[in-house]
Amino acid sequence: MVRTTFAPLIRAAVGLSLSALIAAGMLLAGGLGPSTTTAAYHDDAYMNLSMTVVDKRTAVVTGRIEAQYGTIPTGTVTLVRGADTLATATLDAGAYRFELAVPMTWSGDVELEVVYGGDANHDASRSAVTVSLGA
């Protein structure tokens, strides 16, 4: 009498099929091998601002945009008065400087605002300063 056992062959076939399905599932889910995840975060941008009136007709506005986590903001800042854009400057290691001739029509208290549009890692911010030019 010859006895034949099929159980090991069936187990082997099921094991091979299961391995193939797992591998196929891994390929469909993003492939085999190492993967990399990149996370971006937004760092709040804090502005400090100072304005010096050199004489009644020249003003220097300087400041630095500093980030909460020590990153360096990049991009541009805009100096505005009301709805008027007065100048634009590119940040240099987070610092900016504007020197402008004060129009003869300005008198009394003048509010200037520096507006930072943000970059890939830093949120936008703005800061204002008021200076008295006299009458």
Measured CA angle at 80 (ends 105, 52), to 5 deg: 70
C-alpha to C-alpha distance for 126 and 131, rounded to whole angstroms = 17
Per-residue pLDDT of 76-92, as tens digits, reads 999 999 999 999 999 99
Angstrom distances, CA of residue 33 to CA of 18, 21, 29, 65? 19, 17, 11, 42
Among 107, 122, 103, 114, CA closest to 62: 114
pLDDT attached to residue 30? 44
| pTM of structure | 0.62
**Long-range interactions of 88-93: CB distance < 8 A, separation 24+:** 91/65
Q: Strand, helix or coil at 132?
A: strand
Structural domains of the chain, ranges and CATH numbers in brackets: 42-131 (2.60.40.10)
Quote the pLDDT of residue 93.
93
* Residue range 18-69, pLDDT digits in tens: 333 333 344 344 444 444 433 444 556 666 667 666 676 788 888 888 888 8
What pLDDT was estimated at residue 114?
Answer: 93
Going 41 to 43 to 44 to 47, the CA torsion angle's sign is: negative
What pLDDT score was predicted for residue 130?
Answer: 84
